[in-house]
Amino acid sequence: MGCKMQRRVALRRKLRTLRTLTKSKSVKKSSIIKDASLYLYKLRVQLEAIQKHYHYLINHIQEVKVDKVAGTEYVVVKVRCKKSEELLVSILEAFEEMNVNVVEARLNNSNHLFRMEAILHAHHHIDAIILNQTILSLIQTHTRT
């Protein structure tokens, strides 16, 4: 007899907690469970929308910033894009073809993003726009494949 009472009390406590979490106004057990399942469905839909938006952002990020350091021959390059195979190698080869030395580079490779910040030393005048376009074209060719 005591065991049945303990189970009822535990069930009421769980239903009260469920009712509070789902902000249900219902008093009946079946209505509370229905409200909870509806609440879970809405959460699942929200999660799917967030994941879809996240994957869209990951696949469409292509950011390249090239800034010249005033009064020097140094250039700061910041790249952020979708992670792809051998992108770093291609970027470094492009720097080499442009006769630009990499003084310092910081890389951050997460699961989906490639980030690089590099300080370059140019022995001759280098146009920031051309450098920007070169890196962007490399990113586009690597992320397409």
Per-residue pLDDT of the chain (145 residues; tens, 9 = 90+): 678 889 989 988 988 888 888 888 888 888 888 888 999 999 999 999 999 998 888 777 788 888 888 778 888 999 888 887 788 888 889 888 888 889 999 988 777 788 999 999 887 777 888 888 888 888 888 777 5
Give the pLDDT of residue 43. Answer: 94
Output helix, strand, coil percentages for the chain, rounded to the nearest 5. Answer: 55, 25, 20
Q: Give the span between the Cα atoms of 134 and 87, in whole angstroms.
A: 13
Give the pLDDT of residue 114. Answer: 85
Give the pLDDT of residue 44. Answer: 97
- Cα 70 to Cα 1, 39, 64, 74, distances in angstroms: 85, 57, 19, 8
At 64, which helix (H) or strand (E)? strand 62-68
Give the pLDDT of residue 52. Answer: 93
The pTM of the full predicted model, rounded to 2 decimals, is 0.60
Query: Which class does domain 61-144 fall in?
Result: alpha beta
Give the pLDDT of residue 145. Answer: 56
Q: Give the span between the Cα atoms of 91 and 86, in whole angstroms.
A: 9
Extract the tokens encoding 132.
Answer: 């920007």
